[in-house]
Amino acid sequence: MTRKALQDQWLEWGRQCFGCGRENEHGLQIKSYWEGDETVATWQPKPYHVAFPGALCGGVIATLIDCHATNTANAAAYRAEGREIGTDPPIGYVTGSLSVKFLKPTPIDKPVTLRARVKEIKGRKIIVSCSLYSGDTKCATGEITAIKVR
Amino acid sequence: MTRKALQDQWLEWGRQCFGCGRENEHGLQIKSYWEGDETVATWQPKPYHVAFPGALCGGVIATLIDCHATNTANAAAYRAEGREIGTDPPIGYVTGSLSVKFLKPTPIDKPVTLRARVKEIKGRKIIVSCSLYSGDTKCATGEITAIKVR
C-alpha cells in the first residue's frame, strides 16, 4: 500500500483543482490516502475559511467532501482493475451530484478528518459516502455520485 | 425595492463568511439581489477556482449555491415579516443540508449567474432551490434546507 497521496499520483488532469490540486497555491490542497477500504484526509482550515465566528464555512466543507470522495471514486476504479493510479489507459471521474448534511458547526481552529468509502459501483457511476470529523465528533456527512468521463 | 446586496445588509453575523462575507478578502464575496420573487447573483470566477482546465470547481459551485440560497432564505424570512433585513429582532438561518447536480462543465472564463427562489417555508425550515447559469446555459442546479437558529 503506497503512502503517496492520491492527489500526488494523478498525472496532469486535476493538478490545478481548487479543492485538491497539488499545484493550486490558492486552493485547499487536500491529500487523501487509502486506509484499508477507506480513504482518509486530514486538513487544517485557515482562519479565512470561516462561515460565522468559530465555524468552518459550509461551502468549504462541501468542497472537501466533493474532492475527497471523487478522488476516492477514481482511485477505486484503478484498484478494481488491479492497476496503479496514472497507468494507461487513464481513468477519469467527475462529480455528477453531491449532497451534504451539516450536523453541527465544525470548529475552524482544529484539523478536520474526512473518511470515505465506496458504497456502490454500477456501470459508469460510483457512489461514495463521506463523513467529516472534528476530533471524534462527526460534524457533516455527504455522498457523491461520480461519473466516468473517459 | 433596495438595490443594496443582501450580504451588505446583515450587521455582524456572516460578514467574514468565505462564500459571501463582504469583509473576507480571500473569499468569493458574492452579492445577491432580489428580482421580484427570485434572488440573483452574478459572479466572476478567478483562474484559480478551476477544477480541470477550463471548468469551474464543483466545490466552488456548491459554495456559491449554498451562500446564495441561504442568504435568500434569511432575506425571505425578513420579507415574510414585512421587515428590513437587520432590523430587530435579528433572524439567522444556517444551512442544514445541501444538494447539487452538476449538469455540464461550467466555463471558468465567464461570469456565472445564480437564480434562487423559496420553494417552501415550514416551521423553522426554509427550502430554497437554485440554478447556476453560464450565459443562457444551465450548468448546475441545487437545493438547500435552511434552519432558523435564533
Q: What is the pLDDT of residue A11?
A: 64
Q: For strands B38-43 and A125-134, give the pairing.
A: unpaired
Q: What percent of chain B has pLDDT over 70?
A: 97
Under an 8 A CB cutoff, do A59 and B94 touch?
no
Rounded mean pLDDT, A16-23: 94
Q: Does A14 score more than 90 pLDDT?
A: no
Given CB atoms, is A60 within the 8 Å cutoff of chain B? yes
Which of B16, B53, B62 is nearest residue A66 as measured by Cβ atoms? B62
| Closest approach of A66 to chain B, Cα-based (Å) | 6
All structural domains of chain A with their residue ranges: 6-148
Mean pLDDT over the full length of chain B: 94
**What residue has cell string 457512489?**
A127
Which of B67, B97, B102 is nearest residue A96 as measured by Cβ atoms? B102
Q: Does A101 score more than 90 pLDDT?
A: yes
**ipTM passes above 0.90:** yes
**What residue has cell string 477550463?**
B54
Separation between Cα atoms, residue A120 and residue B123, nearest integer Å: 35
Which of A57, A97, A101 is nearest residue B18 as measured by Cβ atoms? A57
Helix (H) or strand (E) holding B131: strand B125-134
B131, B52 Cβ separation under 8 angstroms: no
A126, A109 Cβ separation under 8 angstroms: no
Nearest to A55 by CA among A145, A139, A147: A139
Rounded mean pLDDT, A50-66: 97
Given CB atoms, is B58 within the 8 Å cutoff of chain A? yes
pTM assigned to the model: 0.96
Q: What is the pLDDT of residue B11?
A: 64
Q: What is the pLDDT of residue B9?
A: 85
Residue-wise pLDDT tens digits, B12-55: 778 899 999 999 999 999 999 999 999 999 999 999 999 999 99
For chain B positions 105-144, those within 8 Å of chain A (CB to CB) are none
Under an 8 A CB cutoff, do A59 and B25 touch?
no
| Range list of β-strands (E), A22-136 | 32-35, 38-43, 93-102, 112-122, 125-134
Q: Which residues of A touch B21 (CB under 8 A)?
A: 50
Separation between Cα atoms, residue B77 and residue B142, nearest integer Å: 20
Q: Minimal Cα distance from A92: which residue of B?
A: B52
A148 C-beta neighbours (distance < 10 Å), count: 16
> Chain-centre distance of CA B134, in angstroms?
16
- CATH code for the structural domain at A6-148: 3.10.129.10
Sign of the dihedral defined by the CA atoms of residues A133, A143, A127, A10, in that order? negative
Separation between Cα atoms, residue B87 and residue B142, nearest integer Å: 29
Under an 8 A CB cutoff, do A48 and B25 touch?
yes
Under an 8 A CB cutoff, do B50 and A100 touch?
no
